[in-house]
A and B are shown apart, each in its own frame.
Chain A
Amino acid sequence: MNDQMGDLSTALVYAAMAAYMVAMVAFAVDVSALGTGTGRDRPRRAAGIAVATTWLGAGLHLVGIVTRGLAAGRAPWANMYEFTLMFTFFAVAIFLGIQTSRDVRYVGVLVTLLALLGLGLAVSVLFVRADGVQPALNSYWLLIHVSVATLSTGVLSISAMFSVLQLLKARHARVPQRSDPVAVGAGGASAELVDDRAEVLDDRAEVLDDRARVPAERAARDVGASPEQETFVGRLMASLPSSENLERLAYRLNAIGFVTWTFTLVAGAIWAEHAWGRPWGWDPKETWTFVVWVIYAAYLHARVTAGWAAERFAYFALVGFVAVLANFYVVNVFFSGKHSYAGI
């Protein structure tokens, strides 16, 4: 359609990758400074540079997506290359969005690494010239279904980054905590109200939950003082928020991601009804989307099950994320099905 515009888009994507590369290095410098323990309250100049270049990269990335759409004369999310542009953009944008209200720079190196890997694979393997779409994709459901799918992938990938940090933190904190008798569900505050037993029991469960969190957070705050923490990893881990906070952040993102994933699934079923004459047909892509949905549903159920350690449902979420990646990279490329046209 418009090759010059397409070339401009590609150039912008490369520029965004360069910015992310700088940001990743700066984030890494910042993290290693945290690890070497230089001045707790020092100005984190590297992190500041990293966030600024991430903003720059996201801006270039966004303009790259817009020009891609102009070049193709349609919504720029109709093939794997464009899908990757979108979901990595959403991932970075969500990271920056969270960063505006709380300090999450510690996850920046993982986010920029994810964006770089995704975009690198996109420009080197998945790239196709900007062009129109075949009749099967020529529907307004492309706008709705695929854009929300990219958003879901972005949300779930950021959530997975937090889950990874949560597991690292929990693993590190477990050693001094092993002797701590307080665990979720253990111990017991005696019921104080007897007139409404069920309610009190209910409240007790809540309180226990919080009690379990408090010592863990305190432990996390105190670790800086313990001699065991005088290592690179120890100081690095000490600079992270508590694993409970990381878990809560991951949960909130997973809850949003589950809702958007559900929407993707339902919108896909409606589109399939229009395009293929059935809302559901166990096409490989449909199957995997369903499996991802079930895994995250299991995650949400596991999380409300009392007596489960937070690390366990983090593994659920990570398995879900691996399935999300497989649903995109493996199913589209290696499985023949009705989504195959969306391939490279």
Chain B
Amino acid sequence: MSRTYAPEGLKDAEAATPRGPHPGPFGWLRWIWRQLTSMRVALLLLLLLAVVALPGSFFPQRSVDAQRVVQYYADHPSSAPWLERLGIFDVYASPWFSAVYLLLFLSLIGCIVPRTRVHLRALRAQPTRVPRSFSRFPVRNELTVAAPPKQVRDTLMAALGRRYRRRAAVERRTTASGATSETLTVSAERGYGRESGNLLFHLALVGLLTVTAWGQLVHYRGQALVIEGDSFVNSALGYDSFDSGAWFAEDSLEPFRFRLDSFESVFTDDAQARDFTANVTVSDPDGSERADTIRVNYPLAVGEVNVYLVGNGYAPDLTVRDASGQIAFSGPVPFLPTDNVYTSNGVVMVPDANGGESQLGFKGTLLPTAVMSSQGRFLGSAYPQPIDPVIVLDAYVGDLGLDDGVPQNLYVLDTERMTLLTGTDDAGRSEPFQVIMRPGEEVELPDGQGSITFNALPRFVALDLRRDPSVPWMGLFAALAFAGLIGSLFLPRRRVWARLADGGDGTTVVTAAALARGDDPVLRRELERLLDALGPRTKEDR
């Protein structure tokens, strides 16, 4: 049996109006719409949504970690292209995932809108008339009270209180003998908030989806790497990578800047990170300056932009002189940490060496706290802080391949057209030449190729900058959905009816019943509470 989402007070309203077959396209559309908004299809779509969301957790996602997708291609060269065609690496942007959630929301809207109309009508309506017989209600009672009906009615109305919407009425009955008898009745209903909450929850979900989609269109996000002492300027050029929504306009970048004054890190004795703090001086768009910090979990807010600290490392400050003794390169070079003790790999490219004729390139490792074996080889780093920093580099000479116009990864040295510089060991044998230096040291390259100097060891921070005006709205809709959910699950919806018949001698025979929607463990207690308020019972019959 298929039903629409059980609208409170309208469970069978649609099914109650039978319609014949509708031939023609309009009939088909109506049939499809009816199917789509049925509870069975909605349930199916919900379960389908759970199923189609899962592949994204089993396969690497480009939106989460593009590098792992590349790795997957390398590991599974035959299956990866097929998975690509199915959209497995972009599950949450794939047509099939989108189809499921869009259909689900369509189904939801198609159900919520009529329900909202019905509920708005119900909010204005009076409580239902008292049913003729109470025998079919499991929660009911009959008793006699020593008070006249009118007084009992007033007491009952007061006991129901303002939480109930109350309606007092009079039933007139004509008996066979032609006499007319009058019976006072009370109908009451409470808990409209249950359906209001339910509707609010579903409408807030629609709102959440809408503002998320809007945020996708207007947001921008960029990554920047900033070295101690350097400044970041919020312009397209300031970013290392940048992506934005379709409605983003580049001139909407707010003109602010900040300087990374210093970076502090705290580690435990066993090299576990405990705190990272980037101290910055921010120049706001209005020109004022202030000191602030960026920490993990505590982003920096500048205007509408949030700046997140996502990584950090060392950027050894190096100077390279070429064969002529000219300074061909000087400045800090970020080395990317590869483990928790900050063993960091990096590349130095010197395209300007020797007038660009024979360029210099270096690749190697920075060890913040170098550990040496007894043979004099470096084993690695023992601690993330720079207690005894050593830089170990291989030196190359030749063509860096930067002039092809093909974009190059700044952290990979293309050595195809370069030759490794070699030196001689103590015994006079030829072996690869290695630059090994500590801060302040200078190393001469073999064959008079020049020299390299390790000036200092500043740190760098990797930052994510993001503007997404939809986030506060998401918070609002999430809060509304949560409030609505609580109302729809925990507010009891109850109806109470009572018939107050004159029992003679100033007494009243009260028959009452209560009905709840859904699960209501205290319904009987509620009815008894109301009846207890009517005063001592002279006769009771359940």
- B9 near A199 with CB under 8 A, answer yes
- Shortest CB distance B66–A (Å): 13
- A291 with B138: CB separation less than 8 A: no
Q: Mark B74-112, 1 if CB is under 8 A from A, else 0.
A: 000000000000000001100000000000000000000
A294 & B46 in contact (Cβ 8 Å cutoff): yes
What residues on B are CB-neighbors of A335 within 8 Å? 57
Given known A206-B517, A270-B475, A304-B518, contact A277–B299 (CB-CB < 8 A): yes
Within the complex, which residue of B276, B464, B515 is in contact with A277, where a contact is CB–CB below 8 Å? Answer: B464
Q: Mark B30-68, 1 if CB is under 8 A from A, else 0.
A: 000000000110110011011001101100010110001
- Docked pose: A276 CA to B308 CA in angstroms: 7
If A198-B12, A270-B475 touch, whether A134 touches B43 (CB-CB below 8 Å) is: no
CB of A138 within 8 A of CB of B518, answer: no
Q: Does A221 contact B (CB under 8 A)?
A: no
Contacting residues, chain A, for B471 (C-beta < 8 A): 273, 279
A293 to B63, CA, bound (A): 22
Q: Which of B10, B57, B138, B310 contacts A202 (CB 8 A)?
A: B10
A220 to B112, CA, bound (A): 39
A202 to B9: give the CA distance in the assembly, Å. Answer: 6
Interface residues of A in 241-277 (CB under 8 A from B): 248, 251-252, 255, 258-259, 262-263, 266, 269-271, 273-277
Interface status of A122 (Cβ within 8 A of chain B): no
Contacts of A176 in B (CB 8 A): none
Is A225 an interface position by the 8 A CB rule? no
Give the CA-CA distance A231 to B47 in the complex, in Å: 39
Q: Are A255 and B489 in contact (CB under 8 A)?
A: yes
- Contacts A201-B16, A207-B137, A258-B489; A295 near B50 (Cβ below 8 A): yes
Chain A residues with CB under 8 Å of B466's CB are: 277-278
Assuming the A-B contacts A258-B489, A275-B296, A276-B308, are A306 and B11 also in contact, with contact meaning beta carbons closer than 8 angstroms in the complex? yes
Contact yes or no, B61 A282, CB < 8 A = yes
Are B16 and A134 within 8 A (Cβ)?
no
Q: Is A103 an interface residue (CB 8 A)?
A: no
Q: Which of B242-250, B267-275, B389-397 contacts A (4 or more CB under 8 A)?
A: B267-275
Contact check: which of A135, A197, A301 meets B16 at CB < 8 Å?
A197
Option from B54, B275, B485 in Cβ contact (under 8 Å) with A135: B275
- Complexed CA–CA distance, A338 and B11 (Å): 44
A322 to B479, CA, bound (A): 28
Tell me if A99 counts as interface (CB < 8 A to partner B). Answer: no
Q: How far is the CA of A195 from the CA of B133 in the complex (A)?
A: 15
- B137, chain A: closest CB distance, angstroms: 7
Mask of B124-149 contacts with A, CB within 8 angstroms, 1/0: 00001101110011100000000000
User: Are A298 and B47 in contact (CB-based, < 8 A)?
Assistant: yes
| Binary CB contact string for chain B from 484 to 496 against chain A (1 if under 8 A, 0 otherwise) | 0110011000000
Interface membership of B237, Cβ < 8 A: no
Give the docked Cα–Cα distance between A205 and B53 (Å).
Answer: 35
What string of 1s and 0s marks CB contacts (under 8 Å) between B456-482 and chain A?
000000001010100100110011011
CB neighbours (8 Å) of B274 from chain A are 132, 134-135, 138
B179 within 8 A of A: no
Interface SS, A side = helix
Residues of chain A with a CB closer than 8 A to B296's CB: 135-136, 138, 275
The answer on a CB contact under 8 Å between A274 and B515 is no
- Among A193, A195, A294, which residue has its beta carbon within 8 angstroms of that of B49? A294
Q: B79 to nearest A CB, angstroms? A: 19
Q: Are A287 and B276 in contact (CB under 8 A)?
A: no
Alpha-carbon gap, A210 to B129, bound state (A): 21
A306/B3 in contact, CB under 8 A = yes
Q: Say whether A175 faces chain B, with CB atoms less than 8 Å apart.
A: no
Chain A residues near B297 (CB, 8 Å)? 135-136, 138-139, 141, 271, 274-275
Interface check B306, CB cutoff 8 A: yes
Query: Quick check: B16 and A198 within 8 Å, CB to CB?
Result: yes
Q: Which residues of A contact B276 (CB under 8 A)?
A: 135
B10 touches A193 (CB 8 A): no
Q: Which of A198, A271, A336 is B13 in contact with, Cβ under 8 Å?
A: A198
Interface: B335 (CB within 8 A):
no
- The answer to whether A132 touches B129 (Cβ under 8 A) is no
Given contacts A205-B12, A206-B517, contact A304 B6 (CB under 8 A): yes
The distance in angstroms between the C-alpha atoms of A280 and B128, with both chains bound, is 46
> CA A264 – CA B134 in complex, angstroms?
44
Q: Which residue of A lies closest to B45 (CB)?
A: A298
Q: Assess the A284–B57 pair: CB atoms within 8 A.
A: yes
Q: Compute how far the CA of A298 lies from the CA of B50 in the bound complex, rounded to whole angstroms.
A: 10
In the complex, what's the smallest C-beta–C-beta distance from B111 to chain A, in angstroms? Answer: 11
Taken together as a complex, chains A and B put the C-alpha atoms of A197 and B64 apart, in Å, by 54
Asked whether, in the complex, the Cβ of B273 is within 8 Å of the Cβ of A263, the reply is no
Q: Give B46's nearest chain A residue, CB to CB.
A: A298
Given the contacts A196-B129, A202-B12, A279-B474, A263 and B46 also touching, CB distance less than 8 Å? no
Contact B54 A291 (CB under 8 A): yes
**6 tightest CB-CB pairs across the interface, nearest first?**
A307-B1, A284-B57, A135-B296, A277-B308, A139-B297, A201-B12
Listed by A's residue number, 8 A-B pairs whose Cβ atoms lie within 8 Å are A192-B132, A252-B519, A278-B468, A282-B56, A305-B43, A306-B11, A331-B57, A336-B68
Beyond A198-B13, A248-B521, A306-B11, 9 extra complex contacts between A and B, CB < 8 Å = A138-B274, A138-B297, A199-B9, A207-B136, A274-B298, A282-B64, A294-B50, A301-B5, A336-B68
Q: Residues of B at under 8 Å CB distance from A?
A: 1, 3, 5-6, 9-13, 16, 39-40, 42-43, 46-47, 49-50, 53-54, 56-57, 61, 63-64, 68, 91-92, 128-129, 131-133, 136-138, 212, 221, 268, 272-276, 295-299, 306, 308, 310, 464, 466, 468, 471, 474-475, 478-479, 481-482, 485-486, 489-490, 515-519, 521
